[in-house]
Structure 1
Amino acid sequence: MTSPFDIEEMFPNDGDRPLRLPRRQAGNSPQGVAVTLLADYTLRTRAALPSAAIVALLAESGVTTAGARTAISRLAGRGVLEGSRQGKRSFYRLSHAAAANLSAGGRWILSATAATAPWDGCWTVVAFSLPQERSAQRRALRGQLRWLGYAPLYDGLWISPHELTPPARAQLAQLTLGAVTVFRARQPELDAVGQRAPIDAWDIPAIARHYAAFLRRWTPLLPRMTSGRVDGAAAVRARTEVMDTFRRFPTLDPQLPLDLLPVGWLRGPARELFAAVYDGLAGPAEQHVRALVARFTGSAHPGIRAHTTADLHAGVRDDEPCPSVSMSSRSRTAPAP
């Protein structure tokens, strides 16, 4: 089973756009924190924020000024951020590609942790064979399979309890160029000693420990939230951390059938706790972000709005309004943050 800190990408990249979201690291990288912050408060509006305000927000999460400026520059180079300049000030906002990618990832987070439908008892099996000289292609295929909810039963044999959708089949075809076979089947009952069950492709006890740790970490925050004792920068940090942690669960536990899992599986309680914290702190966190940005713009920014689980469900539409600072002066080369 993949560790939650070994997932290569936060969300799958869109192959049709020049976008590279930051890689996962052991802990929170400055680039990852920056993307989470901008998505949490500007995803639906793609509001452009002063680079100085983004640096200040990152500083509240423990990122140094140098680290924050480097993260902004690298995200602009990856196509995640778009830069503009107004006078001596530089501004950044999420690119269209990043917003669409992050929106898809948000819907995936909630749908993959929702209650599972009845399982038909069949497994989708993906078998592939790629030579050693195509190691980069093999890594890309494994990363895509992992994001789609598959796990390796054996080295070149990945499985999922869910059917492979046509879009996912097309994605895999682009990565393998005919070197993959996909079929759906049931596991026959055998008397052979040492038979490995498909569910063993996932480390169920380890996943359970991650759920239990998540509940231990965030449950004590609820009474403090209800009494109004979590606000300002603390509310922003908590929302960033709870999102960064919870969004790893769909890859660890991709809606595995409950009848194959231990009684009292904690997927549902973890999802409810995530929603309680993320939505419960939306108000005070939004107020803090608005106030901080206003220090650099001189007025309240209409494009700052805390993203909620309802927004994750709804996603981002192509006609979503963008009440942000004018981007008419944007150049092809992003300005220095």
Structure 2
Amino acid sequence: MTATEDLAARPQSLMLSFLGIYLLDRDTAVYSGSIIDVFARVGVSEEAVRSTLSRMATRGLLTRHRRGRRVYFGLTARATEVLSDGYRRIWHTGAVNRDWDGTWTLVAFSLPDNRRSDRHDLRSHLIWAGFGLLQNGLWIAPGVKDAASIVDSLGLAENVTVFTATHAKPTESADLVHKAFDVPAIAARYNEFLTRWDTPDPVPALPDDLARQLVLHHDWLQLVRQDPHLPAEHLAPDWPAIRAEHTFQTLAAKYLPTAGAIARDLMDEITVPASA
């Protein structure tokens, strides 16, 4: 599968990257036809764009604004929250955890077989938040995590125990890292990013810097959202996230001026009230 075919198969994650770059923190909505024009640059069909916009509006992530025969899409408060989290992960949290203080957040739970759906939802939320499975029913993450909000959102407060701790002998933090997390798989994802982007001509099939900007941000956001932000002191000195983060930041700065100019020419926007 080529790069554009892969993106065409996942238009919603690409849409979130687009919205994060061009609508976050702006009280504007963009014409659906403009979004179709942007996404055509990365091989996403008009039908897929319209379906994605409709689905995201139904899920409460986008608002519709009609001006004559044109429909514009803006962000809801929920979308703003999701996109702000992505922004923090990209530009503030980063890919390399050099400031870990030795603390772990632990989540323990036991749910019977007749609550498999609850168990699946909890596991999915924990993985998304950077937790790894240490042993049956016990999940850990480096640092202090807001596990309470995960548990409360799922209505599982009575079934879950949350606490913070530090390791004690004979347990070593390095052992916890490698027991609870698939470190080789995390490294492989960063190396795949480097193969694609750390080259003289990244993704040559893409037509311009707007397309490259959009795909670059999409690829990087998917990476950092899957990264549990493990302590750098327990990873190899040549941990590929270090070079990958530098590559992302360098290319993001390189594409920004040209991509922004292309986007301004393409995008028909209107001012709308702030999301609520």
Give TM-score scaled by structure 1 length. 0.69
What is the aligned counterpart of 2:209 among 229, 235, 245? Answer: 235
Q: RMSD of aligned C-alpha atoms?
A: 2.6
- Which of the numbers 75, 83, 98 marks the counterpart of 2:79? 98
Letter in 2 for 1:206: A
Contact 1:124-1:182 at 8 Å conserved across structures: yes
TM-superposed deviation, 1:182: 2.4
Aligned to 2:158: 178
- Preserved CA contact (<8 Å) 1:233 1:285: no
SS at match of 2:208: helix
Of 243-252 and 197-206, more deviation after overlay is shown by: 243-252
Q: In the alignment, does 2:228 pair up with 1:254? A: yes
Structure 1 stretch displaced more, 126-135 or 250-259: 250-259
1:108-167 Cα offsets, whole Å, 9 max, x none, are 2333325534544443321111122222222221122112211112242111121234xx
- After superposition, the Cα gap between the structure-2 partners of 1:161 and 1:68, relative to the gap in structure 1 and judged at 3 Å, is closer
How big is the shift at 1:261? 1.1
Cross-structure match for 1:145: 126
* Matches of 1:279 and 1:259, distance apart in 2: 29
Stretches of structure 2 lacking an aligned partner (at least 5 in a row):
1-5
2:102 and 2:31 mapped to 1: Cα distance? 53
- What is aligned with 1:37? 18
Structure 1 letter corresponding to 2:176: P
Equivalent residue for 1:65?
Answer: 46
Within the candidate set 90, 115, 118, 1:134 is matched to 115
Are 2:189 and 1:210 equivalent residues in the alignment?
yes
Alignment of 1:189 onto 2:170: yes
Match of 2:30 in 1: 49
Distance, in Å, in 2 between the alignment partners of 1:112 and 1:38 is 20
Aligned to 1:9: none
Distance in 2 between residues matched to 1:118 and 1:108, nearest whole Å:
15
Residues of 2 paired with 1:187 and 1:251: CA distance? 29
User: Which residue in 1 is equivalent to 2:3?
Assistant: none
Distance 2:13 2:24 in 1: 15
**Alpha-carbon spacing, 1:59–1:164, altered in 2? closer, same or farther (3 Å):** closer
After TM superposition, the structure 1 stretch with the greater mean CA deviation from structure 2, 82-91 or 43-52, is 43-52
Q: Structure 2 counterpart of 1:250, which letter? A: V
Confirm or deny: 8 A CA contact 1:46 1:95 kept in the other structure: no
Higher strand share: 2
Taking a change above 3 Å as real, the CA distance of residues 278 and 73 of structure 1, as seen in their structure-2 partners, is same
Is this contact kept in 2: 1:239–1:281, CA < 8 A? yes
SS at match of 2:28: coil
Structure showing the higher helix proportion among its residues: 2
Amino acid of the residue matched to residue 198 of structure 1?
A: L
* Structure 1 portions without partners, runs of 5+: 1-25, 191-195, 302-323, 328-337
Normalized against structure 2, the TM-score is what? 0.83
User: Identity over the aligned pairs, expressed in percent?
Assistant: 31
* 3-state DSSP of counterpart to 2:158: coil
Counterpart-to-counterpart distance in 1, 2:35 and 2:157: 42
After superposition, the Cα gap between the structure-2 partners of 1:182 and 1:96, relative to the gap in structure 1 and judged at 3 Å, is closer
SS of residue paired to 2:26: coil
Per the alignment, do residues 103 and 174 of structure 1 end up closer, same or farther by CA in structure 2, a change over 3 Å counting?
Answer: closer
